[in-house]
């Protein structure tokens, strides 16, 4: 990578630091992506994602279903700080965490970190699944049905870890969504943090209204 950067800088008659600054700007604009251990690559056209709530996302209709996939990494952890507060459990309670990264082809497009009480974690979950719905199905097999979900949406800069996972610049804003779900017994079943690159994500909110004597309409 160092030799390649030196050669490219020499080709354009600029210093290596100037070249790296230029690459950082292009990455921030979503024109290139940095693949760890491989280098910088021109980013192909990104399909827009629309977050519709409840952890669900839609993408452009011309994206082949087979091109979408989700990798899942399950780890054991303990409830600390804000996470314990969200889940309404004592500090250091045993939790299971699912780190789910959505891909379109080889390019990551979303990051979802789900924390659940250890006794409600799925026993088996493949390392790669076709969609987020597969993760939800695995969770539903070991816990009561969900009754209520509250979501908080914010725009912020990504952490270094988030930027590295999504292959974006730390200067590119992301859409950050915190989702807390309660099951039918009144227990908080999960706390999820979703991170979507700001250059390709929209959020759709639907309000349901009722008229006396008429059912709710969308």
Q: 129-169 pLDDT, tens per residue? A: 777 777 888 888 888 899 999 999 999 999 999 999 998 88
pLDDT score, position 90 = 94
pLDDT averaged over every residue in the chain: 83
Ranges 64-68, 94-98, 104-108, 206-210, most confident: 94-98
Element at 175 (helix H, strand E): strand 174-183
Six-digit token string for 46? 């990104």
* Closest CA relative to residue 138, chosen from 148, 147, 151, 129: 129
Q: Are 57 and 137 found together in one domain? A: yes
Confidence of residue 178 (pLDDT cuts 50, 70, 90): very high
Q: Are 152 and 56 found together in one domain? A: yes
Q: Classify residue 54 as left (phi > 0), alpha (psi -120 to 50) or beta.
A: left
In this predicted structure, the answer to whether residue 125 has a pLDDT above a threshold of 60 is yes
Q: Could you report the per-residue pLDDT of 183-202, keeping only the tens digit for each?
A: 999 999 999 999 999 888 88
Q: Are 30 and 98 found together in one domain? A: no
In this predicted structure, the answer to whether residue 211 has a pLDDT above a threshold of 90 is no
| Alpha carbon distance 72, 100 (integer Å) | 5
Give 3-state DSSP helix, strand, coil % of the chain, rounded to 5. 25, 45, 35
pLDDT score, position 214 = 60
User: What domain range is 30 assigned to?
Assistant: 1-43
Neighbouring-strand partners of residue 146: 183
Q: Are 77 and 168 found together in one domain? A: yes
Q: Are 35 and 118 found together in one domain? A: no
DSSP string covering 108-131: EEEEEEEEEEGGGS-S---SEESS
Confidence of residue 28 (pLDDT cuts 50, 70, 90): low
pLDDT score, position 20 = 78
pLDDT score, position 1 = 46
Domain count, the chain: 2
């Amino acid at each position: 990578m160092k030799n390649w950067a030196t050669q490219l800088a020499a080709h354009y008659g600029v210093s290596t630091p100037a070249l790296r600054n230029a690459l950082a700007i292009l990455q921030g604009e979503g024109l290139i992506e940095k693949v760890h251990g491989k280098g910088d690559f021109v980013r192909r056209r990104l399909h827009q994602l629309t977050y519709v709530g409840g952890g669900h996302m839609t993408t452009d209709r011309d994206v082949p279903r087979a091109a979408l996939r989700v990798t899942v990494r399950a780890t054991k952890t303990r409830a600390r700080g804000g996470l314990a507060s969200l889940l309404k459990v004592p500090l250091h309670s045993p939790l299971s965490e699912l780190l789910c990264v959505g891909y379109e082809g080889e390019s990551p497009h979303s990051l979802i970190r789900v924390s659940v009480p250890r006794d409600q974690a799925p026993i088996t979950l493949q390392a790669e699944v076709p969609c987020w719905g597969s993760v939800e199905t695995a969770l539903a097999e070991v816990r009561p049905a969900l009754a209520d979900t509250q979501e908080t949406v914010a725009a912020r800069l990504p952490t270094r870890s988030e930027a590295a996972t999504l292959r974006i610049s730390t200067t590119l804003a992301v859409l950050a969504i915190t989702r807390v779900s309660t099951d039918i017994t009144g227990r908080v079943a999960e706390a999820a943090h979703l991170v979507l690159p700001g250059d390709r994500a929209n959020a759709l909110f639907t309000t349901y209204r009722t008229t006396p004597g008429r059912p709710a309409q969308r």
